[in-house]
Amino acid sequence: MNKLDGNQIAEAYRSDLKEEIAELKEQGITPTIAPVLVGNDPGAKVYYRTKKRLAENLGINYDGVKLDADVSQEDLLAKIRELNGDPNVHGLFVELPLPEGLSIGKLRTEIDPHKDIDCINPINSGKLLSGGAARASYEDLKNDPEVLLPATPYAVMEILDYSGIELAGTEFVVVGGGAVGLPLSTLALREGYSTITLCDYKTDDLAEKTKRADILASTLGKADFITEDMVKEGAVVIDVGINEVEGGITGDVDYENVKEKAGCITPVPGGVGPMTTTLIMSNTVKAAKMLNG
């Protein structure tokens, strides 16, 4: 078993990112991210602080916004519009989950697509699906100066690429068709030459499908859902799940048992998460270039 260490991979990306940020600062541009934290959800607060630490380490200005849990949808939308109009803010990100009564769906269209560093605005989602051009590859999308990719699916693709894991000729199974699984499937399709299967936890004969996977990714958010008997010998296993349990967090994969069977596996914590946060910062830098181009 080879552990795919997200911290180690992310650190390699951060070195290059620091150079980009230094070059922008020489031009008088300081990349600025404005995460919006609403309420007191423990998980959201952890992510908010994690982004703050990383931004400061990289030299990105962190202009975070904290709002009370009882803020109205209208006032939250007003804050988003205010940040849209602030020329010094380059990246917007709303921490999830939102308190009851607030809808991320109503915010999606309000976030400026050029500042939408997690690709939730339908315009950016559309670019992901259309590719901006017929048959645009994953590399084409990644390198397009006007395309921002959703950070978590992007992180999975970059972990695979950095680790030298080829998609060509593989069977790639994604379990979980939500905000991560669907775009991940699309990016994998754009990488090309592999068979992509998108499932959910209620899919008939799910284990039969997952056992075919050369690359298996779970994005469900169900603790230890993927068990040893659902994994092919030597498979690459990517655990995107983050689940709160007594004593900390765990992924979707029963790590201790599955790691004995997998060829490569990402741990939780320390797998996809560090790369996701790093690519949020990378997207902020890309947005700063776009907005000042």
pLDDT recorded at residue 129: 82
The residues, ordered by sequence, that sit 6+ positions from 91 with a Cβ below 8 Å of its Cβ are: 31, 32, 33, 34, 115, 117, 280, 283, 284, 287, 288
Between the CA of residue 25 and those of 21, 54, 217, 281, what are the distances in Å? 6, 17, 38, 15
3-52 pLDDT tens trace: 999 999 999 999 999 999 999 999 999 999 999 999 998 888 988 999 99
Distance separating alpha carbons of residues 189 and 138, to the nearest angstrom? 8
Write out the residue limits of the CATH 3.40.50.720 domain(s) in the chain: 151-273
Distance separating alpha carbons of residues 142 and 30, to the nearest angstrom? 22
Question: Cβ–Cβ contacts within 10 Å for residue 63, how many?
Answer: 16
Compute the average pLDDT of residues 178-204. 93
CATH class of 28-112: alpha beta
Contact 62, 92 (CB under 8 A): no
Write out the residue limits of the CATH 3.40.50.10860 domain(s) in the chain: 28-112
**Six-digit token string for 66:** 């904290």
Compute the average pLDDT of residues 215-223. 96
3-state class (DSSP) for residue 200: coil
Domain 151-273: which topology?
Answer: Rossmann fold (3.40.50)
96-121 pLDDT tens trace: 889 999 988 889 999 999 999 999 99
Between 134 and 181, residue with greater pLDDT: 181
**Lookup result for tokens 């990289």:** 58
SS (H, E, C) 106-170: HHHCCCCHHHECCCCCHHHHHHHHHCCCCCCCHHHHHHCCCCCCCHHHHHHHHHHHHCCCCCCCC
What distance separates the 2 farthest-apart alpha carbons in the chain?
Answer: 57
51-91 pLDDT tens trace: 999 999 999 999 999 999 999 999 999 999 999 999 999 99
Mean pLDDT computed over every residue of the chain: 94
H/E stretch holding 22: helix 6-26
